Amino acid sequence: MASKLHIYNSLTRKKEEFVPQHEGHVGMYVCGPTVYNDVHLGNCRTFMGFDIMFRWFKFLGYKVRYVRNITDVGHLLDDGEDRILKATRLEKLEPMELVQKYTIGFHDIMRILNTLPPSIEPRATQHIIEQIEMVQAILDNGYAYVKNGSVYFDTLKFAKDKGVYGQLSGRVIEDLIAESRDDLKNQDEKNHPADFAIWMKASPEHLQHWNSPWSVGFPGWHLECSAMSTKYLGQTFDIHGGGNDLKFPHHENEIAQNYGACGCTPARYWLHSNMLLMNGRKMSKSDGNTITPPQLFTGDSPHVSKAYSPMVLRFFSLQAHYASPLDITDDALAAAEKGYKRLMEATRTLAGLKHPGNGNASALDKEILDLLDGLYDEMNDDFNTPKALAKMFELVTKINGLKDGHLSWNDVTEETFAKMQETVKAFVFDVFGLLDEMESGGREFKVMDGLMELIIELRQNARQNKDWPTADKIRDKLNEVNVVIKDGKDGTEWTLG
Ligand code: AMP
Ligand code: ZN
């Protein structure tokens, strides 16, 4: 394999060769969901995008530690709204009950979409001590101040010392200083509008709170990622990712906090995935233009004409580069469904084909080898899945050509054919993370059909032996699991009720 992995780094705004901090190892942190409601397709796009990167690093042979957190503590916004507490009030649940419910829901969806579980999934509520320690370190280093039991990060001091604040989002110190002159009258407890809370004193009705040296309160939103990435990946590590709506303020403030606590920038490469749009607008809960995965899988949404399966959604996401916006429409989903089926058919065909022998190295052979190398090159070019998919479809044409006789087996060596079988399978299933839904559904159905045949036979035997209790028990137990059996002239049939 000739090409080397290059990644677009949001920090330097350049595509750079990826050189891990420790040879053979990758440390990767991705901001996880805030678990106060159901994930929507936009969130899924981001997590599937980072799943592809995780898979590609593993495929390249790296040992990857992938940390993706669960934000289960007050999502503190500057307007003071706490999303988790609002949801607990509306749903009449304990905070931990609420976050448990949506964490389970999130995991279910991630599994259905065949995203690999992270190596570590730390929760903010389980890392309060680490967060308090980090606040203390930031205070000790002079980058924060205490006001009425809350602790604020001193953004101006950071910007002056580091020489830059806003590396990711393009904010500059001059703007902040100008703001500080204009906006001083706007201050409540903060010295400067760009300062942000790293510890908040809780009001009496605030349910999620912990003891700290400054007050009974709770950590600021940005702090958990700084504390947990440092704990599990070290003060500096390779990759930090998230949706590009997290660049500012979340990631910018993470960088500031880590600098305040340890004097260094946490991640060396910052990766930002782009937004999923619907009708040209970011899919977002607050805008009301969301589709949830269950709505898509059942077709129960005004935005889709029919149901689309999880793998169609995954295939659809692969069709765009992670850093490009992606507009979801019914037509685009229908096209993705066709593409997905065509790819799966070809994958199945390829697995079943056998080289008849007498293959020679020809132009076709070379073309196939180039396409196979091309898959690696495209993934190494900043995880370019749409281009890798395009190469894959050129291979699909070759596979179908060999199958139906348009292309000659004599023009492909046995070696190249074996390489194609191995590489296509690995990319489709291991790198793209697709599942063959027809195949897996079919296999399960076959097993179930076989089992039902056996059960029906046992029941027939029981009836013939006038063992009515056993025969009735079988029927009743099947009913309990929604399997209905009907005795007819041609024997007994079963259906799902
Ligand atoms: P949240 O739970 O709001 O923190 O979001 C979890 C992840 O989903 C973050 O990385 C967001 O950037 C990402 N996200 C939110 N909305 C979208 C969207 N419309 N398209 C892609 N990613 C999104
Ligand atoms: Zn984060």
Residue located nearest, by CA, to atom 15 of ligand 1 = 43
CA 233 to chain CA centroid, nearest Å? 19
* The pLDDT of residue 492 is above 90: no
| Alpha carbon distance, N-terminus to C-terminus of the chain | 53
Mean pLDDT, all residues of the chain: 92
Question: Which residues, 6 or more positions from 369, have their beta carbon under 8 angstroms from its beta carbon?
Answer: 416, 419
* The pLDDT of residue 101 is above 60: yes
Average pLDDT over every residue of 154-179: 79
- Calculate ∠ Cα 177-183-185, nearest 5°: 135
Cβ of residue 291 lying under 6 Å from some atom of ligand 1 = no
34 backbone dihedrals φ, ψ, rounded to 5°:
-90, 120
Cβ of residue 290 lying under 6 Å from some atom of ligand 1 = no
Q: What is the pLDDT of residue 187?
A: 62
- In the block, residue with structure tokens 């065509």: 342
Cα 272 to ligand 2 centroid, rounded to whole Å: 12
Q: pLDDT over 90 for what percent of the chain?
A: 74
Q: Are 219 and 131 in contact (CB under 8 A)?
A: yes
Residue located nearest, by CA, to atom 2 of ligand 1 = 33
Q: What is the pLDDT of residue 89?
A: 87
Q: Are 374 and 391 in contact (CB under 8 A)?
A: yes
Rounded Cα distance between 57 and 355, Å, is 32
Lowest mean pLDDT among 161-175, 185-199, 220-234: 161-175
Cβ of residue 275 lying under 6 Å from some atom of ligand 1 = yes
* The pLDDT of residue 246 is above 80: yes
Nearest ligand to the C-alpha of residue 258?
Answer: 2
**HEC string for the chain:** CCCCCEEEECCCCEEEECCCCCCCEEEEEECCCECCCCCCHHHHHHHHHHHHHHHHHHHCCCEEEEEECEECCCCECCCCCEHHHHHHHHHCCCHHHHHHHHHHHHHHHHHHCCCCCCCECCEHHHHHHHHHHHHHHHHHCCCEEEECCEEEECHHHHHHHHCCCCCCCCCCHHHHHHHHHHCHHHCCCCCCCCCEEEEEECCCCCCCCECCCCCCEEECHHHHHHHHHHHHHCCCEEEEEEEHHHHHHHHHHHHHHHHHHHCCCCEEEEEEECCEEECCEECCHHHCCCCCHHHHHHCCCCCCCCCCCHHHHHHHHHCCCCCCCEEECHHHHHHHHHHHHHHHHHHHHHHHCCCCCCCCCCHHHHHHHHHHHHHHHHHHECCCHHHHHHHHHHHHHHHHHHHHCCCCHHHCCHHHHHHHHHHHHHHHHHHCCCCCHHHHHHHHHHHHHHHHHHHHHHHHHHHHCCCHHHHHHHHHHHHHCCEEEEEECCEEEEEEC
Question: Which residues, 6 or more positions from 494, have their beta carbon under 8 angstroms from its beta carbon?
Answer: 452, 456, 478, 483, 484, 485, 486
Radius of gyration for the chain, computed over Cα atoms and rounded to the nearest angstrom: 28
Q: For a substitution probing ligand 1, which of 41, 45, 46 has the most ligand atoms within 8 Å of its CB?
A: 46
For residue 56, give the amino acid letter: W
Q: Give residues whose Cβ lies within 5 Å of ion ligand 2.
A: 31, 225
* The pLDDT of residue 497 is above 70: no
Cα 176 to ligand 1 centroid, rounded to whole Å: 27
Rounded Cα distance between 239 and 119, Å, is 14
pLDDT confidence bin for 185, thresholds 50/70/90 = very low
Cβ of residue 374 lying under 6 Å from some atom of ligand 1 = no
Cβ of residue 283 lying under 6 Å from some atom of ligand 1 = yes
Cβ of residue 435 lying under 6 Å from some atom of ligand 1 = no
Q: What is the pLDDT of residue 62?
A: 98
Q: Tell me the per-residue pLDDT of 368-403, one tens digit each, with 9 for 90 and over.
A: 999 999 999 999 999 999 999 999 999 999 999 999
* The pLDDT of residue 441 is above 80: no
Residue located nearest, by CA, to atom 17 of ligand 1 = 42
* The pLDDT of residue 207 is above 70: yes
Cα 304 to ligand 2 centroid, rounded to whole Å: 32
Cα 43 to ligand 1 centroid, rounded to whole Å: 4
* The pLDDT of residue 119 is above 90: yes
Cβ of residue 327 lying under 6 Å from some atom of ligand 1 = no
Length of the chain: 497
pLDDT confidence bin for 442, thresholds 50/70/90 = low
pTM value is 0.88
Question: Which residues, 6 or more positions from 84, have their beta carbon under 8 angstroms from its beta carbon?
Answer: 34, 35, 36, 72, 73, 74, 75, 95, 98, 99, 208
Closest atom, ligand 1, to C-alpha of 45: 21
Q: What is the pLDDT of residue 482?
A: 77
pLDDT confidence bin for 127, thresholds 50/70/90 = very high
Cα 242 to ligand 2 centroid, rounded to whole Å: 7
Q: What is the pLDDT of residue 476?
A: 87
Cβ of residue 242 lying under 6 Å from some atom of ligand 1 = yes
Q: What is the pLDDT of residue 177?
A: 63
* The pLDDT of residue 356 is above 80: yes
* The pLDDT of residue 77 is above 70: no
Please enumerate, as own/partner, the contacts of 72-75 that have beta carbons within 8 Å and a separation of 24 or more: 72/34, 72/35, 72/96, 72/99, 72/103, 72/123, 72/124, 72/125, 73/124, 73/125, 73/208, 73/218, 73/219, 73/224, 74/200, 74/206, 74/208, 74/218, 74/221, 75/34, 75/36, 75/221
Average pLDDT over every residue of 237-246: 97
Q: Are 88 and 468 in contact (CB under 8 A)?
A: no
Q: Tell me the per-residue pLDDT of 285-308, one tens digit each, with 9 for 90 and over.
A: 878 899 999 999 999 999 999 999
Lowest mean pLDDT among 46-55, 133-142, 358-367, 478-487: 478-487
Q: For a substitution probing ligand 1, which of 29, 43, 221 has the most ligand atoms within 8 Å of its CB?
A: 43
Lowest mean pLDDT among 95-99, 203-207, 401-405: 203-207
Cβ of residue 478 lying under 6 Å from some atom of ligand 1 = no
Lowest mean pLDDT among 66-75, 207-216, 417-426, 440-449: 440-449
Residue located nearest, by CA, to atom 8 of ligand 1 = 43
* The pLDDT of residue 132 is above 60: yes
Q: What is the pLDDT of residue 162?
A: 84
Question: Which residues, 6 or more positions from 425, have their beta carbon under 8 angstroms from its beta carbon?
Answer: 347, 350, 351
pLDDT confidence bin for 147, thresholds 50/70/90 = very high
Cα 321 to ligand 2 centroid, rounded to whole Å: 22
Q: Tell me the per-residue pLDDT of 314-344, one tens digit each, with 9 for 90 and over.
A: 999 999 999 999 999 999 999 999 999 999 9
Closest atom, ligand 1, to C-alpha of 46: 22
Q: What is the pLDDT of residue 183?
A: 52
Cβ of residue 246 lying under 6 Å from some atom of ligand 1 = yes
